[in-house]
Amino acid sequence: MFLRCLLVPTAPGLDPTRRLDAGLRLSRRLHAHIGVGFIAPGPETVLAALAGTAPVSSATIAAIKEGMRAAAADGKAALQAWCAREGVPFMPAVDRLDATFATWTEWSGEVERMLTLAGRVADLVIVDRPDPAQPFTGRALDTALFSVGRPALMVGEVVPHDLLEHVVVAWNGSLEGTRLVGQSIALLHAASRVTVVQARTDRAEEARAADLCAYLRWHGIVAHASNLTVGEGTSVGAAILDAAGRMDATLLALGAYTHSRVREFLLGGVTRQVIETARMPVLMAH
């Protein structure tokens, strides 16, 4: 399996530069292209948000549409400027499947529906770590994890020069972790170094890091196993992030929400801890 199609969803007022940088650094290793999808709310969504605060008229609707067109034009111009700086062809006539270039597409509608449809015909969705000040970021991550069915790459504050220099896989034998590994074989194969980390929990004996390393070897991936002892009073998520940092990981990979989201919200959990505090890029699948 090849990873050829990387999707970067964005919206009015968002700066996708970090995600574009991450996508480009992956693309140059994976020979993939970057599809930027601009998702703007339709007039009906904006009007619903303005209900009771402004009169609805044809002029109001026209103003909303014009505002969205202007935001899309600004976003497209910013992408073209980024492509010029990075030497990335923009909307070229493609005659090679393994070429790196960028495309621009505009959609109007709800984030969840638009991103679900677009993400299902991509190999990887690249999103920001959720920012409470930007509701789109949280909605995009939730949609990528729970609706798309493809791996999601969450980009934090730090974008390493080479995301595939050292990939650390957090393994617990879960269904979600298994899906992530199966969908990311091509990415792991391209990595310079892979380490499988297993936290010592009550599942440590039934799902061993060494077993995953042996499986990966059949795919030509040389991975090293590392057992992680979680200290008393330390969450598993914090321990994994700390270990990944000490190993100079450039990318952390883990199955997301192996417990229900409600349970993680109420009691805490690995996924929630990682999403809230990770500074490095995190590859996830549910």
Residue 22 sits in a domain whose CATH number is: 3.40.50.620
Range of the domain at 139: 5-154
Do 125 and 202 have their domain in common?
no
Q: What is the pLDDT of residues 42-60, one digit of tens each?
A: 766 666 665 556 666 677 7
Query: What is the chain's pLDDT, residue by residue, as a tens digit (286 residues)?
Result: 689 999 999 999 999 999 999 999 999 999 999 999 999 987 666 666 655 566 666 777 777 788 889 999 999 999 999 999 999 999 998 778 789 999 999 999 999 999 999 999 999 999 999 999 999 999 999 999 999 999 999 999 999 999 999 999 999 999 999 999 999 999 999 999 999 999 876 555 667 899 999 999 999 999 999 999 887 777 899 999 999 999 999 999 999 987 655 544 544 488 999 999 999 999 999 9
Residue 162 lies in a domain: no
Do 84 and 202 have their domain in common?
no
Q: Give the pLDDT score at 45.
A: 67
179-185 contacts: CB < 8 A, separation 24 or more?
A: 179/255, 179/285, 179/286, 180/151, 180/253, 180/254, 180/255, 180/256, 180/283, 180/284, 180/285, 181/212, 181/216, 181/253, 183/150, 183/151, 183/285, 184/151, 184/253, 184/283, 184/285, 185/1, 185/219, 185/221
Domain end (from 128, 154, 180): 154
Q: Give the pLDDT score at 267.
A: 41
Do 255 and 184 have their domain in common?
yes
Residue 214 lies in a domain: yes
Residue 159 lies in a domain: no
Q: Give the pLDDT score at 266.
A: 42
Do 10 and 142 have their domain in common?
yes
Do 243 and 275 have their domain in common?
yes
Residue 66 lies in a domain: yes
Q: What share of the chain is helix, strand, coil (3-state, %, to 5)?
A: 45, 20, 35
Q: Give the pLDDT score at 263.
A: 47
For the chain, list the strands marked E by DSSP. 5-10, 33-40, 102-108, 124-128, 152-155, 167-170, 194-199, 223-228, 251-255, 282-285
Domain end (from 124, 154, 184): 154
Q: For residue 55, what are its two tokens?
A: 């009169």
Do 49 and 89 have their domain in common?
yes
Its pTM stands at: 0.91
Do 16 and 111 have their domain in common?
yes
Do 118 and 201 have their domain in common?
no
Do 141 and 51 have their domain in common?
yes
**Across the chain, which distance is largest between two alpha carbons, in Å?**
66
Residue 161 lies in a domain: no
Query: In total, how many domains does the chain have?
Result: 2
Residue 85 lies in a domain: yes
Do 128 and 177 have their domain in common?
no
Do 108 and 181 have their domain in common?
no
Residue 150 lies in a domain: yes
Do 184 and 246 have their domain in common?
yes
Domain end (from 154, 183, 209): 154
